[in-house]
């Protein structure tokens, strides 16, 4: 893989980890076990991602995340807890994929992975908080299932083709930034209404 393709795959997995960390860990572990992506050589300790026990634990986390994400307000609690966990997981995935030898690039990959996962996690958590405010009970399940299907499809695309990984990374970044802008506008609108009602 070229450097751009590696960065695209690392960026895609880091951004997707902000939505579904355990799915990304599981998929990366399976992909390393099957030889679809190279296990890290320079950061050999990250090769543990393809250990059967780690794959099994990430599968259990995946099941728990899928279930917790379907229940209104439980998903927001899950997101609050994972505000610290998902960025670190995204950073470790970026490190494992880029596998830089130079310490400066190791720090760079780590920081970019943290930033990407935190950015997408913030958009997801903010969106879910808005959805949870909806009075009907079905929107949470619909949005969560949409996230599951989207994450799975984009993850398969990113792992299947290095070129698609770059495209997925760019699309995810644009979608995440767009969602954060929409959430900011919504919060401004709500705070404006609250201020007007208080006056």
Q: Whole-angstrom Cα distance, residue 88 to residue 25?
A: 12
CB atoms within 10 A of CB 152: 14
3-state class (DSSP) for residue 171? helix
**8 Å CB contact between 40 and 46:** yes
- Taking the model in full, what pTM does it have? 0.86
Instruction: Give the model confidence (pLDDT) of 41-97 as tens digits.
Output: 888 888 899 999 999 999 999 999 999 988 878 888 999 999 999 999 999 999 998
By residue range, what is the domain housing residue 119? 3-198
Q: Which two tokens stand for residue 71?
A: 């229940």
* C-alpha torsion sign, points 5, 7, 23, 182: negative
H/E element holding 73?
Answer: none
Instruction: Give the model confidence (pLDDT) of 91-114 as tens digits.
Output: 999 999 888 888 888 888 899 999
Domains in the chain, number? 1
Residue that the structure tokens 């596998």 belong to: 99
């Amino acid at each position: 893989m070229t450097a751009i393709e590696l960065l695209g795959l690392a960026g895609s997995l880091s951004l997707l980890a902000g939505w579904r960390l355990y799915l990304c860990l599981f998929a990366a572990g399976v992909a390393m076990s099957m030889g679809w992506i190279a296990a890290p050589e320079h950061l050999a300790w990250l090769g543990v991602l393809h250990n059967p026990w780690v794959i099994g634990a990430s599968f259990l986390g995946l099941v728990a995340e899928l279930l917790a994400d379907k229940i209104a307000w439980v998903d927001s609690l899950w997101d609050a807890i994972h505000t610290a966990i998902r960025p670190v997981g995204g950073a470790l995935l970026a490190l494992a994929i880029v596998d830089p030898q130079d310490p400066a690039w190791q720090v760079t990959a780590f920081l970019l992975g943290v930033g990407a996962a935190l950015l997408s996690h913030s958009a997801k958590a903010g969106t879910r908080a808005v959805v949870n405010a909806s009075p009907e009970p079905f929107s949470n399940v619909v949005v969560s299932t949409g996230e599951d299907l989207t994450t799975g499809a984009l993850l398969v695309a990113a792992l299947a083709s290095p070129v698609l990984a770059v495209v997925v990374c760019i699309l995810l970044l644009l979608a995440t930034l767009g969602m954060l802008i929409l959430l900011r506008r919504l919060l401004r609108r709500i705070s404006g209404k609250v201020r007007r009602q208080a006056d």
